[in-house]
Homo-oligomer: A and B are copies of this chain.
Amino acid sequence: MAKGRTDGEHAAHRVPMREFSRSLPMALLRAREAVMRQFRSSLRQHGLTEQQWRILRALAAVEESEVTELARTAFLLGPSLSRILRDLEARRLIERRTAASDLRRGVVSISAKGLKLMEEVAPSSEAIYAAITKRYGARRLAELQEMLGALEASLADLDGEDENVSDE
């Protein structure tokens, strides 16, 4: 009855689940952390968090953006974005106005000061990215990006289809 160890683990308490180390979310988390660790100190030296940097990058690519659109672009939830925009505006890195046609909508754009900061950060950021690409291989990196995009796409329509797993 008592099954022997199935692998290298102690197998102390048997619960029917895959090995923790083989978890896909875990692998994605670890990989992302390994990458981000390279950037964080550089961003930090310029007083930016990862998310603040994402917003500046997103804004630098367009003339201006509505808040909801920016949330989608920078991949942030509304509440996080609200807080960060408040801070970035106080630091004069972005500017913000209200859309004339719809007073509910906020329109945000990067300021001259924000652009200047980006120009300071971009070189080291690109250098780090280049180092990563060299380490891992440009070909392999492109392939990874493709697979990640495919994974995201393959799960896109699997979201709210089957809410009632068992009860309730």
Contacts and interface: CB of A to CB of B under 8 A. Distances in A.
Interface string A28-56: 11111111111101100100001000100
A104 interface: no
Interface residues of A, number: 78
Interface in A84-143: 110, 115, 118-119, 122-127, 129, 131-132, 135-136, 140-141, 143
B155 A38 contact: yes
Q: Which DSSP category, helix, strand, loop or mixed, fits chain A's interface?
A: helix
A80 interface: no
A118 B15 contact: yes
Interface of A: 9-13, 15-20, 22-39, 41-42, 45, 50, 54, 57-58, 60-64, 73, 75, 110, 115, 118-119, 122-127, 129, 131-132, 135-136, 140-141, 143-145, 147-152, 154-156, 158-159, 163, 165-166, 168
